[in-house]
């Protein structure tokens, strides 16, 4: 439904409440947020669970902001094999790094993980608003930089040749973030298999191998790293 001025007060209040939690509007006043939202021509789009939001190679003509629910990004190779890039929960911008540039097409397909609502802002309106607010510009640049850094780490991860190397890389990163030898897996093995681009049985077999080799100890979603050096050796 296209934005109408007579609905602005209701819609603006709803948007501001949601976007307050978005990094795009970090360190901005309520008046600045209202001015930005008031300058946007946007659509509110609703998607059911598992529905396609965009296909890879679709042209990026709007800045999409996930207002509620969750989505996932998937990339397919020429053989049709899909690799999940990441899960995204609201409120978040979708593919901000591809809104501008010479090849502004979605590099991944986006699917609804749950029922969700998305704000689609006209690109020219979004650009004009960016140019009028320095803080909004800085926030948007930070979002693009963070996405670039994430994609760089993802590429390095996908370049790991073996499942064991991917599991080791994942566990070492959890250890770095959680600062504990015993790390808590934030995802199920099915979700991890999607993330790694492998089958669940292959992933389960690899984790069990590490357990039998005495590198880790498995207790449901808790994995204790018993031999840090052996785990690091799996990366080479």
Tokens read off for 60: 């990026």
Q: How far apart (Å, rounded) are the C-alpha atoms in residues 105 and 75? A: 13
Structure confidence at residue 4 (pLDDT): 47
| Structural domains present in the chain | 5-158 (2.60.120.10), 163-233 (1.10.10.10)
What SS3 state is found at 202?
helix
* The dihedral formed by the CA atoms of 117, 72, 101 and 60, expressed in degrees to the nearest 10: -40
Question: What local confidence, expressed as pLDDT, does residue 10 receive?
Answer: 58
Burial class of residue 165 (count of CB atoms within 10 Å of its CB; 0-12, 13-18, 19+)? middle
Contacts of 118 (CB under 8 A, 6+ apart): 44, 45, 46, 47, 53, 64, 65, 66, 67, 94
What strands lie across the sheet with 82-89, from one edge to the other?
52-54, 109-112, 70-76, 82-89
List all residues 6 or more positions away from 167 whose beta carbon is below 8 Å from its beta carbon: 196, 203, 206, 207, 210, 234
Which runs of E-coded beta strand occur in 77-151? 82-89, 92-94, 109-112, 116-122
Tens-level pLDDT at each residue, the chain (236 residues): 444 444 455 555 666 777 777 888 888 888 888 888 878 888 889 999 999 999 998 999 999 999 999 999 888 765 566 777 788 998 999 999 889 888 888 888 999 999 999 999 989 989 999 999 999 999 999 999 988 887 777 777 777 778 898 899 889 989 988 888 999 988 888 888 877 878 889 999 999 999 999 999 999 889 999 999 999 888 87
Q: What pTM value is reported for the model? A: 0.69
Q: What are 217's two structure tokens? A: 């100890």
Q: Give the Cα separation of 147 and 25 in Å (integer).
A: 17
Q: How far is CA 37 from CA 22, 42, 66, 127, 210, in A?
A: 13, 9, 15, 13, 52
**Can you tell me whether residue 133 is helix, strand or coil?**
coil
> 215 and 167 in contact (C-beta within 8 Å)?
no
């Amino acid at each position: 439904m296209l934005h109408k001025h007579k609905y602005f007060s209701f819609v603006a209040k709803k948007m501001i409440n949601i976007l307050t939690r978005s990094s795009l509007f970090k360190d901005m006043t309520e008046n600045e947020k209202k001015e930005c939202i008031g300058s946007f021509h946007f659509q509110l789009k609703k998607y059911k669970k598992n529905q396609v939001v965009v296909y890879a190679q679709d042209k990026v003509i709007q800045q999409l902001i996930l207002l509620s629910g969750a989505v996932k990004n998937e990339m397919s190779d020429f053989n049709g094999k899909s690799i999940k890039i990441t899960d995204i929960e609201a409120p978040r911008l979708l593919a901000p790094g591809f809104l501008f540039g010479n090849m502004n097409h979605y590099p991944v397909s986006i699917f609804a993980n749950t029922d969700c609502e998305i704000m689609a802002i006209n690109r020219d309106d979004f650009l004009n608003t960016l140019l009028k607010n320095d803080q909004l510009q800085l926030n948007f640049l930070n979002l693009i930089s963070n996405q670039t850094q994430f994609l760089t780490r993802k590429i390095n991860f996908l370049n790991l040749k073996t499942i064991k190397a991917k599991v080791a890389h994942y566990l070492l990163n959890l250890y770095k973030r959680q600062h504990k030898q015993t790390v808590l897996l934030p995802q199920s093995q099915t979700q991890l298999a999607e993330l790694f681009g492998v089958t669940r049985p292959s992933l389960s077999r690899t984790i069990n191998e590490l357990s039998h080799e005495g590198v880790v100890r498995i207790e449901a979603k808790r994995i204790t790293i018993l031999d840090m050096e052996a785990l690091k050796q799996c990366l080479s």
